[in-house]
Amino acid sequence: MSLINESHDPSLKSWVAQANEPGSDFPIQNLPFAVFRRKGSDEAFRGGIAIGDQIVDLGAAAGSGVFSGEAASGATACGDASLNRLMAMGPSIWSALRLALSRALRTGAPEATILAGTLAPQAQAEYTVPARIGDYTDFYTSVHHATNIGKLFRPDNPLMPNYKWVPIGYHGRASSIGVSGQAFSRPIGQTLPPGATQPELGPCKRLDYELELGIFVGTGNESGMQVPITEAESHVFGLCLLNDWSARDIQAWEYQPLGPFLSKNFATTISPWIVTMDALAPYRVPFTRPESDPQPLPYLDSTQQREAGAIDVQLEVCIETEAMRAARTPGARLSLTSYRHAYWTIAQMVAHHTVNGCNLQPGDLLGTGTLSGPSLDQAGALIELTAGGKQLVDLPNGEQRTFLEDGDVVIMRGWCQKAGAARIGFGDCYARVLPAMC
């Protein structure tokens, strides 16, 4: 588990001026990673870190000679078109590179003159998925989401009997994961209309978002080797925002007996920036369970988890309709919640995923599942906010929604903030729904 060190000092300032502005997602205490190139260019994609409104081109920085030792090795790996090589290097390299960048980006740093030449404005950059994602597993870690969904279909027994014993997950589709800015066509599939005796093929009518965090695996494990919970986070490179788009009407018809298929595999959107576990260290909070609930089995429990296994990441979902864009009005907030409410932690997901000997690989992605909080205004999906489409959501401009319409843009944001620590953010994760291609 990452420790607090000099890089977290809230008094640190950067020679990149915008990083010092209140409310910046990317102060010097953050330094998240992405893969980028200049917008509209045919340049090769390469790794960079965010500082204020700029990107440090890490491949160029490595060639400048400002880094040494482990930090130099890590920076050199960032010259690749994905972060997989850096992810495979492990926590020692990741931490060394982050600390070296922190020192080089501080006000008065002698490296400022050299690194200034490696900066690229974020406004002039485009991004790609930051890693080659070999496999994608989506979990179901919010007991509030699971309960809300269960009440719609099993009001007398909303939670399945295994939920509080085992981190539930399913294997998703890696090829359709896209980066923020993604636009995708409304999915087509089989649905069973109310009162019908046979299904029909057509565009989804109940398109939804799911507010999640994505967890990028760093170092992998050999096939047959379990990752103990006390070592699980050393296999995690960092977190991003994740929108697991869901076609609820297709899902309702297809999910039994094997779970989601076409209702989930058409698109998943992630934010370009990966916030490292080191950067998140000041925002750890205890992992707790109600005393009346089953306590985790020993392989899912540890003193570290009890003391600081959860992370307080604030999460927001907004919607921007075509009418809002035409009127140049901002998107409307739909919900605000926190990752601290999750029933299962990052380490528990990794430990459970590997307890049977499953081999994770650098760049694999785990989703947390929809992160709903204990009250309805903290719901992470429209199916919860609208009670399965029975209640309309009123938007500030007079529009209403039960599910998403063509042209809607869903925007997700995340940040960490508390007294005695610098605010850090994840940037935006947004995507637009296009009409079905039929």
pTM of this prediction? Answer: 0.97
The active-site residue out of 8, 144, 145, 235 is 145
Q: What is the pLDDT of residues 10-24, one digit of tens each?
A: 999 999 999 999 999
Binding residue numbers for Ca(2+): 138, 210, 212, 244
What pLDDT does residue 75 have? 98
Which of the residues in the chain have pLDDT under 70?
A: none
| pLDDT (tens digit per residue) in 354-397 | 999 999 999 999 999 999 999 999 999 999 999 999 999 999 99
Q: Which residues define the annotated binding site for substrate?
A: 140, 154, 251, 255, 370
Please give the pLDDT value at position 156: 87
Q: Residue 148 corresponds to which tokens in the numbers above?
A: 């809300």
**In Å, how far are 190, 299, 378, 387 from 152, measured between CA atoms?**
21, 33, 17, 7
> What is the per-residue pLDDT for 388?
96
Cα 102–chain centre separation: 23
Ordered by where they begin, the domains of the chain are 6-128 (2.30.30.230), 136-434 (3.90.850.10)
Q: What is the DSSP string of 206-235?
A: SEE--EEEEEEE-S---TT----TTTGGGG
Q: Note whether 21 and 113 are within 8 A (CB).
A: no
| Binding residue ranges | 138, 140, 154, 210, 212, 244, 251, 255, 264, 268, 370
pLDDT at 162: 96
| Residue 53: predicted pLDDT | 98
Per the annotation, the verdict on 235 as an active-site residue is no
Q: What are the pLDDT digits (tens) for 160-209?
A: 999 999 999 999 999 999 999 999 999 999 999 999 999 999 999 999 99
